[in-house]
Amino acid sequence: MEMKIIILLFLSVISTINSSCDITSAVFDNVLDGMPAAFGDYDSDELTDVFVIRKDGKTLEILLSNEHEPLLRSTNLTCKFENRITSIVPGDYDGNVFMDILVTTLDNDNILTNVYVLWNDDGTLNCSGTSKPLIKMIGQPLTIDYNQDMIIDLFGTDADNHRTFWIFNNGQNSPEPIQMNTTISTSIRSPHSNAFLDLNGDFYPDIMITTNEHVEIWNGSNKGFNYFKKIKWPYDIIDSINGHIGQSLNLDVELRGELDLILPICFDNDCKNSTIAIYNNGWHNMNINFIDDHNDTWGFVPSNSDNDKLYNDAITLRGGDFNMDGYPDLLATLKSSKTQIIRSFLLINSPCIKNCKYIKRTFVIEDWNTFNTFKNDTIMAVFYDFYQNGILDVILVQHDKIHNKYQVGAFKNDLDYDASFIKVMVLTSLTNPDYPLSYGSLGKKKRTYGTNLPGPSISYDTTTQEGNHRKAIAAQLPQSAHFSLNLPYTTFGLGRTPNFVDKLLIGVAGYSREWRQIIPNSQMVVIPKPIDYPPGWKAQLFVTPSKLIYMSAAALAGTCVLISFIILYLWWKERREDKFERLQEAHRFHFDAM
């Protein structure tokens, strides 16, 4: 135990060196025009790569993640499309382990979404899928796993306005459409914030469908989805008529072990009066203070029909535990009502002090200058772990209004916490007999068991250092459309606790497995295989950046050597004292004899 604490101490000391916040050149080198669209490990090296849109918005490129600078490298893994790309969702759509890429574009002639899949047979990128769309549909699809076969399927609206599931199988052909069994004819909202996650604790992911009036909840099961209930949007707001409804998000805001529904809203059309609402047996206003240090009121940026404006088709919040206290924080983009400047801010999840009847937490912009090193309008911010060390950093997109140019920036999270974390990733657990697992350095597996899996629930239970009970839950990849930019893993901050995490519970496709006594600061990969026999599921440690391992090994060795020297010295001293005593005794004896 003590040894572990020493390791943790060394790790935290190591991770607090270096303090500059703008690390754009160390991350992106000089490739700054790639707009982030999705995350996933394309080359199976256990580092999360970034899928970006480059050039005229019609080219997909994969920036491969690296352990050394530049951390994200431009590659020749690119494909060009005929129309503007509206979304990218990596995943295994044919069950051959390799990560395929689903790309949607908007056909301006008939306003239908074209869905393409770039199939991956051997780890390279083959652009032949760009020639013909597999599906034409209304709006963007949500990625789900309909039949628990670990091959990713889709949900959305078909060209005839029916709610439809598209089921992919082992072949690389068009998926089979299955109409949703429903009499509800309300259309899905556009842009939607549909989500695929387990809300009722049966480990079957449920579906949340957003329409213009409601959010519908459909219980998941092994035989499709059953309608459960609908929740009306709050405060009688009708989007773009008397205010705005943003994209909903599910986070465990109060650490109750339940996923709350949170929603950015505006009470007016200009979003001068904005707030975040949370649903917990009724909607509650979280009373966010959007007035900055200069008495300037900020609000969300109302969506714009202008197709050229990136990341502006919906008001989107992005969640992640930035300060590692366990409570999920938010990134939001706001507009000043005085200067019209647009900027992204970090909203810290803090205890609610004023006007809090039902909800004990609120979001506070503690530092209005956090991202001030990024001078121009920052129109989008998203969490990403550059150093793959469990600490969430931020990718920002800046807009240069004069030249109408977009540019990415990288912000390093350098607040010196001696806080710990656990990072968990659940994989599809598929294998491919043609490509057996190959072992790399440090016994690390080069081919992992599959790729991004939407829907698993990940929760933990533990006792904090103060003796309080704490639990939290998160869903993996619940949303995939409209640049929701979810990470394929979950990071829980644990605060300043060097204790073991008592229980970690993973639920996948109706089954669950519990692991006990997890060492903090572990990065776990969960392989739910065979899916219907949870005792057989495996959990492997992520290969943490080797530099850290060597440094802590060196630190440990140093400590051992030091302790050995001390022991040697003490031993030598005692021996000397012994000898001296013996001499004295002998002397005394001599003396007495005389």
Note the residues at the interface with ligand NAG (CB under 6 A). Answer: 76, 126, 128, 181, 200, 219, 226, 228, 267, 273, 295, 375-376, 398, 400, 402, 407
Distance CA 182, CA 6 (A): 58
Residue 563, C-beta contacts closer than 8 angstroms, at least 6 positions apart: none
| Residue 435 beta carbon to ligand NAG: minimum distance, rounded to whole angstroms | 15
219 vs 388, beta carbon nearer ligand NAG:
219
10 vs 298, beta carbon nearer ligand NAG:
298
206 vs 252, beta carbon nearer ligand NAG:
206
| Residue 93 beta carbon to ligand NAG: minimum distance, rounded to whole angstroms | 14
Residue 269, C-beta contacts closer than 8 angstroms, at least 6 positions apart: 240, 242, 243, 244, 302
| Residue 371 beta carbon to ligand NAG: minimum distance, rounded to whole angstroms | 12
434 vs 466, beta carbon nearer ligand NAG:
434
Task: From residue 41, give the alpha-carbon distance in Å to each of 50, 97, 471.
Answer: 8, 12, 29
243 vs 328, beta carbon nearer ligand NAG:
243
217 vs 422, beta carbon nearer ligand NAG:
217
Distance CA 507, CA 495 (A): 24
For 444, the enclosing helix (H) or strand (E) is none
Distance CA 391, CA 387 (A): 8
| Residue 393 beta carbon to ligand NAG: minimum distance, rounded to whole angstroms | 18
395 vs 518, beta carbon nearer ligand NAG:
395
Query: CB pairs under 8 A, 24+ apart, for 555-563?
Result: 555/10, 556/3, 556/6, 556/7, 556/10, 559/6
The one-letter code for the residue type at 101 is I
| Residue 111 beta carbon to ligand NAG: minimum distance, rounded to whole angstroms | 29
| Residue 507 beta carbon to ligand NAG: minimum distance, rounded to whole angstroms | 14
| Residue 123 beta carbon to ligand NAG: minimum distance, rounded to whole angstroms | 11
- Write the DSSP symbol of residue 303: -
Report whether 469 contacts 463 (CB < 8 A).
Answer: yes
For 562, the enclosing helix (H) or strand (E) is helix 546-593
234 vs 488, beta carbon nearer ligand NAG:
234
Helix (H, G, I), strand (E, B) or coil at 358: coil
- Write the DSSP symbol of residue 187: P
| Residue 76 beta carbon to ligand NAG: minimum distance, rounded to whole angstroms | 4
Distance CA 489, CA 16 (A): 23
